[in-house]
């Protein structure tokens, strides 16, 4: 099963990183405050980045790596995605 790592921009301009098997469903959950503790208080506004991975293990490792990054480094990744 394929997984996606994504970065979501929240209503408060923060960046939330997560994994999912269904980007559209997960984005809707984040928008409607059903997507987890953080996004229930800071709803999703816009999907800024995503990348497909072959399995949960690979996606989880990448998610953990990105979560350790500074905001500036995440924004650099998003810039490469927007090109």
Query: What digits encode the pLDDT tens for the residues 23-67?
Result: 999 999 999 988 788 998 999 999 999 999 999 999 999 999 999
Lowest mean pLDDT among 13-17, 21-25, 35-39, 68-72: 35-39
Residue 20, token pair as written in the block: 């999912």
Measured in whole angstroms, the distance separating CA 52 from the mean position of its chain's CA atoms is 12
Confidence (pLDDT) at 50: 97
Round to whole Å and give the CA distance between 24 and 26: 6
For residue 34, which phi and psi values (nearest 5 degrees)?
Answer: -115, 5
Measured in whole angstroms, the distance separating CA 23 from the mean position of its chain's CA atoms is 9
Walk me through the domains of the chain, giving residue ranges and CATH numbers: 3-82 (3.40.1440.10)
Confidence (pLDDT) at 12: 95
């Amino acid at each position: 099963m394929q997984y996606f790592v994504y970065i979501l921009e929240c209503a408060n301009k923060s960046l939330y990183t997560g994994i999912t098997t269904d980007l559209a469903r997960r984005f809707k959950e984040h928008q409607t405050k059903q997507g987890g503790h953080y996004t229930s208080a800071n709803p999703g506004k816009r999907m800024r980045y995503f990348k497909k991975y072959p399995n949960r293990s690979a996606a989880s490792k990448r998610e953990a790596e990105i979560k350790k990054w500074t905001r500036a480094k995440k924004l650099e990744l998003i810039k490469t995605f927007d090109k």
